[in-house]
A and B are shown apart, each in its own frame.
Chain A
């Protein structure tokens, strides 16, 4: 199933630079605080092919967000190396789009001005910017709200605006940190459906952190289950549900139950204490 859809990625011109889109090699991260040192990650390995949609689930505080921050280059690992498109991430990684859990829209800019920020940073001329902004606003369903300020939008609309702002500069890798966490169940489904639609149109590599197992199965090609600190990969589960998927149908697919059971068991398992 997985290989079937992965063949969508043009395999021929990938040959030369067939490095994984994202790779973590023996990554460790230790935070020092007044109460001592905390090993959040140690010896973490995983990699991700171009165009793959990976979900990471795990208990809170298990270092899921830390992994994203390392990939974004906002933080540096204390051990091992983090690679993106084959190159080590040494500084802030501008080849990714990072959709954080928190609202990071600029409150003094309207929706369209917010979405235009990445293009402004790249000195793209006004006509093209306006064109691309209009296009993305339509894609995320924010027509009619172009001139609104973030304070005038609902939580779901702000997420849409953030998603549009991330997609507009077309980064090959998307990092998403519980992007739909605080939204209500119905809105969540709607946004998941739109994310899948956008993803199948653009085939980005996605690392999607969530604590919702159903969401992980619904969206991802592969789900990693993290243990609590120091984080280890409990389970690396490929999802055998064919695409295109309907978000509200996925849970009735015969394979769903098995995936759900295994992921849940992996999450539940008592933490193996490092001796």
Chain B
């Protein structure tokens, strides 16, 4: 009897877990959009909350005119450049400081103090220094990414297994070889956590700087739409940004699971 029940349950493989999750996700999105669409008008003034249909219309119009691609590309470029710069600096700085206990303890309070400053508050300064072109946005994105990657990587460097370091040294490994073959790879999972945390903050940095002074980019698009009291435009710009961030995060996740296939 019981075996029969067992074989029956096994013979009926419903949707796999991941396809079920995707199904639930799709249902949630449809439910939210439907609720929003239904509420907009009868319950809430579309002037303030817009509606999915209006946002979609704006997106279609912007895509057709090439506006969306243009602004998205600018923000993407700023963020990508800032991300690469900030992450590289963060990793190198963390490896350098992590290598020496004295250096680490000396520098730690200063780095923490600077980290505490809201990065967005630095935007006006960067605009003064670097003008209103791409530069201040890149710098702000870079700084936002830098700290997250730096702290995360440093943590990884400090947590390295000393038995592996000792083993490599007795096998004839010098300082540089130990860095390359033990410390860097063992800090890599931490580094990736930093990258994944840092990516959205990179966008935040770039968009915030765009909102203050620029004539292009998603930040400008949002600001400009709001200036024209175009709620649908604000939502459309934010939605586009959301899609890009999610896709990039997914790509990072894929890269991560490929790199850490040894786990």
- B46 part of interface (Cβ distance < 8 Å): no
The 8 A-B pairs of least Cβ separation, nearest first, read A104-B167, A94-B172, A149-B262, A118-B171, A98-B170, A92-B169, A104-B163, A121-B172
B173 at interface by CB-CB < 8 Å:
yes
Residue B252 lies at the interface, judged by CB distance under 8 Å to chain A: no
Q: Which of B120-128, B145-153, B177-185 contacts A (4 or more CB under 8 A)?
A: B177-185
The smallest C-beta distance from A31 to any residue of chain B, in angstroms, reads 16
Interface residues on B, range: 20 to 34
Contact of B197 with A by CB under 8 A: no
Choose among A93, A98, A150, A151 the residue that contacts B167 (Cβ–Cβ < 8 A). Answer: A98
Contact A117 B170 (CB under 8 A): no
Is B164 engaged at the interface, CB distance under 8 Å to the other chain?
A: yes
**Chain B min CB distance to A56 (Å):** 18
Give the Cβ gap from B86 to chain A, nearest Cβ, in Å: 25
20 contacts between A and B (CB under 8 A): A73-B170, A74-B166, A97-B170, A103-B163, A104-B164, A104-B166, A104-B167, A107-B262, A108-B185, A108-B186, A110-B262, A117-B171, A117-B173, A118-B172, A121-B173, A121-B174, A122-B172, A151-B263, A165-B171, A169-B172
CB B105 to nearest CB in A, in angstroms, measures: 19
Chain A residues with CB below 8 A from B174, complex form:
121
Contact A94-B171, Cβ < 8 Å, known A104-B164, A121-B177: yes
* A96 contacts partner chain B, Cβ-Cβ < 8 Å: yes
Among A118-153, those with CB < 8 Å from B are 118, 120-122, 149-151
Q: Is the CB of B168 closer than 8 A to any CB of chain A?
A: yes
A contact residues, range: 20 to 34
Query: In the complex, A121 Cα to B173 Cα: how many Å?
Result: 6
Complex: chain B residue closest to A122, CB-CB: B172
Asked whether A72 is an interface residue with its Cβ less than 8 Å from the other chain, the reply is yes
Contact with B along A56-75 (1 / 0, CB 8 A): 00000000000000001110
Chain A interface SS verdict (over half) = loop
Give chain B's interface secondary structure class: helix
Distance from B101 Cβ to chain A, minimum over Cβ atoms (Å) = 17
Q: Is A255 an interface residue (CB 8 A)?
A: no
Instruction: Identify which of B169, B172, B181, B263 contacts A106 (C-beta below 8 A).
Output: B181
B263 to chain A, nearest CB (A): 7
19 other A-B residue contacts (CB within 8 Å) besides A97-B170, A100-B166: A72-B166, A72-B170, A74-B166, A94-B171, A98-B167, A104-B161, A104-B166, A106-B164, A106-B181, A107-B263, A108-B186, A108-B188, A117-B173, A118-B172, A121-B173, A121-B174, A149-B262, A165-B171, A169-B171
Q: Are A121 and B170 in contact (CB under 8 A)?
A: no
A110 to B262 CA separation, bound complex (whole angstroms): 8
Shortest CB distance A22–B (Å): 15
Q: Give bound CA distance, A149 to B263, whole Å.
A: 8
CB distance from A215 to the nearest CB of B (A): 22
B166: chain A residues at CB < 8 Å are 72, 74, 98, 100, 104
The answer to whether A94 and B170 have CB atoms under 8 Å apart is yes
Given contacts A107-B262, A151-B263, contact A102 B172 (CB under 8 A): no
Instruction: Give Cα distance in the complex from A73 to B169, angstroms.
Output: 10
